[in-house]
Amino acid sequence: MTRFAISAAYMAVLYAFIFLPVAVLVLFSFQDGRFPIPPFQGFTLKWHLEVLSDEELMVALRNSLLVAFGSSALALALGFLAARGLATSELPLARTIRAALTAPLSVSYLVIGLGLLASLNLAGVGLSLWTVAIGHVVINAPLCFAICTAAIGPAQQQAERAARDLGAGEWAVMRFVTAPMIMPALVAAFLLSVTFSWDEFIIAFLLSRFDVTLPVEIWSLLRSGLNPKTNAVGSLVFLISALAFLAFELSARRR
């Protein structure tokens, strides 16, 4: 019984540590006052309505969605093709190539962002949402490659050989054999890429100019100090993320 009580207390502390900041954020986004600080001064929805009616925030939200899903789809495609190519080839330096492709995972986003900014300036490319998407592909493609590489094993390779023996071309093998067999890994890689792109600030700040993503817009709001409107933005973002996760879980359970 004592062991169970200790385990329950540990789990309670752990969950409180994880979710208490989110609960405080959501609670004070409904505060009827100018500052999101205790004591709670009453319930209101005006801050959420202000956020929904703020054109700049809604444009930033749209930009974040476009960049997150577009860059994640491209990063997944590149990572999957690279993982499958190295898994089916017999290159003498395959292990070195794998290490080089996953190396960016250990590099700071600040270093990657500054390097991309310098490279784009040298190439004469103007900053925009496209450059932000390029930056997010750079940081997410190695992640997708690592996840897909871990998922492709001897079972997939044997199934691919059998499909080729039956006359399937390479694109048919990838579409009807490899991709379905590692679908959980593909979904996980895509969702992680979307999550990282959705929350990413440094590269989005360095590589954007006028069209900014939501984290950059929230940073602009915070420069003027804390207010319940910033909390309302955070609570709406959390709601969107929670609904997306719930929809994915329900879909996975039905399948």
What is the domain partition of the chain in residue ranges?
A: 2-254
Q: Let me know: does 71 contact 138? Beta carbons within 8 Å.
A: no
Per-residue pLDDT tens for 6-51?
888 888 888 888 888 777 777 777 777 666 666 667 677 777 787 7
For the question of whether the overall pTM of this predicted structure is more than 0.95, the answer is: no
Superfamily the domain 2-254 falls into: MetI-like (1.10.3720.10)
Mean pLDDT of the chain: 82
Per-residue pLDDT tens for 89-128?
777 777 788 888 888 888 888 899 999 999 988 888 888 8
pLDDT band at 177 (very low <50, low <70, confident <90, very high): confident
What pLDDT shows up at residue 236?
80
Distances (CA, A) of 95 to 50, 85, 138, 253: 53, 13, 20, 37
In the chain, beta strands by DSSP E: none
What pLDDT shows up at residue 138?
92
Work out the number of other CB atoms within 10 angstroms of the CB of residue 200: 24
What pLDDT shows up at residue 40?
65
Higher per-residue confidence, 137 vs 126: 137
What pLDDT shows up at residue 37?
63
Calpha distance 44→33 (Å, rounded): 9
Weakest mean pLDDT among 106-115, 174-183, 189-198: 174-183
Region 197-211: mean pLDDT is 87
Q: Let me know: does 74 contact 137? Beta carbons within 8 Å.
A: yes
What pLDDT shows up at residue 5?
80
pLDDT band at 172 (very low <50, low <70, confident <90, very high): confident
